[in-house]
Chains A and B, each alone.
Chain A
């Protein structure tokens, strides 16, 4: 059975998450490589996020911002679950080519 057309694709949701920006670097969380996984089903939207440092107090805020960005495009009946994960640890190679280019790689 195909998904109803109103259900956004993981790629669309990744694009939505580009509105969440790390203010320190001025680059969004998708291009920084902090979004590990986006799963979409009728049961739930599930997103796995990481942070570059366990000492960074921004994780709560980033997750809340990501959640409200997703809530705006995900049908109301579908819950949005965002989980903070530390494995695998973030590495610079996870950044997008565009972000790396901007940062002088």
Chain B
């Protein structure tokens, strides 16, 4: 029955989405290994060569693929799927002898993703859909900067904006279930203004711009801790509570990253940069990914992922190992930072394993019920 609906909307069926997801996973794996290579951990040669493009693989490759895939699934149309396809290919091409094509594919993907986000806004003009659009613009700008500059340092703040605003927009949407709060709304719009100014400044004065961006993240973290439904849903049980715990932990990390960035740590060469960036990307973004995988993955791939308290294990592992890494970095303890990063990678591996086992559990549950 799902098939007949799929046909009517001319969209890609779940099995057709699998190659894009696999491309995305290749980017994720290579990005993680390349990141470890930067911290002098022994990794396979293919990944060692990718140490310099760790950020591009992770954000333009992995997140560019999965987030634009998620949006394509939501839109029930064919053309938005070209965004995850190009991003997935861009990540894989980066591993071939002709990596030059990769930034072009990423730009193409970013452009299609921005158009898809524009369609979302047209379907429902609202502050939250506008925020999602700004996030998409962040991805495209980051990809264009990387294409023109071949320099990840300047692309990074835009890529960060892509992920943080995408999450913030989705969280803002969910606050509509709560009684309206005009003050909260005004603060949110104020933060959006600040981010846009920071992004504009990025061309003229990078240090001030990244500090302004960090101030935006810090205010946003406080906003999310105060106004998000997670504060309420954490009192529920099962998956709903687990998602809320992931989010609240993530908001804490967003605040840490924002505070470090305010001290200048988003700038290339800053000794705390590792902590500042990974507080945002691992602490905030990946906590949110861990929380939502059991909701989004079934929606995208049409498999069941039954909740299990075991889900807390990869989450806890990520929090603790990131804590170690940050303490190691800020306290100038190289070995601690390196071990923390290695444990970060293992936490992500544990997370992927948890999802795979859950998919198998879900399938066998279904068989038992049939």
Bound Cα distance A81, B77 (Å): 20
Instruction: Give chain A's interface residue range (CB within 8 Å of chain B).
Output: 20 to 34
* Complex contact B120–A55 (CB within 8 A): yes
Produce 1/0 per residue, B55-81, CB < 8 A to A: 000000000000000110111100000
Contact check, B177 vs A25: say whether CB atoms are below 8 A apart.
Answer: yes
The residue of chain A having its C-beta at the shortest distance from the C-beta of B128 within the complex is: A53
On chain A, the residues within 8 Å of B73 by CB distance are 57, 60
Flag if B176 contacts A57 (CB, 8 Å): no
Q: Are A67 and B176 in contact (CB under 8 A)?
A: no
Chain B, residue nearest A90 (CB) = B176
> CB of B296 within 8 A of chain A?
yes
B74 touches A55 (CB 8 A): yes
| Complex contact A23–B239 (CB within 8 A) | yes
B residues 201-250 near A (Cβ < 8 Å) are 229, 232-233, 236, 239-240, 243
Please report whether the interface of chain A is mostly helix, strand, loop or mixed according to DSSP.
Answer: loop
- A59: B residues at CB distance < 8 A: 74, 76
In the complex, the number of residue pairs spanning A and B with C-beta atoms less than 8 Å apart equals 94
List the A residue with the shortest CB-CB distance to B133.
A55
Say whether A56 contacts B74, CB under 8 Å. yes
Interface residues on B, range: 35 or more
- Closest chain A residue to B242 by CB distance? A23
* Contact of A61 with B299 in the complex, beta carbons under 8 Å: yes
Known interface pairs A53-B129, A54-B124, A104-B179; A25-B233 also in contact (CB < 8 Å): yes
Among residues of B, the one whose C-beta sits closest to the C-beta of A68 is B1
Complex: how many Å from CA A59 to CA B240? Answer: 18
Q: Is A76 an interface residue (CB 8 A)?
A: no
The 10 A-B residue pairs with the shortest CB-CB distance, nearest first, are: A26-B240, A54-B123, A57-B73, A61-B299, A57-B74, A26-B236, A57-B70, A55-B120, A57-B299, A58-B299
Q: A24-B240, A60-B299 are in contact. List 6 more A-B contacts (CB 8 A).
A: A32-B177, A53-B128, A55-B71, A55-B74, A61-B299, A95-B177
Chain A residues engaging chain B, CB cutoff 8 angstroms? 23-27, 32, 52-61, 63-64, 67, 84, 86, 89, 92, 95, 103-105
Task: Pick 29 A–B contacts, CB within 8 A, sort by A.
Answer: A23-B239, A23-B243, A24-B174, A24-B229, A24-B233, A24-B295, A25-B174, A25-B233, A25-B240, A26-B236, A52-B173, A53-B124, A53-B170, A53-B173, A54-B119, A54-B123, A54-B124, A55-B117, A56-B74, A57-B70, A57-B73, A57-B74, A57-B296, A60-B2, A60-B76, A95-B177, A103-B179, A103-B229, A104-B232
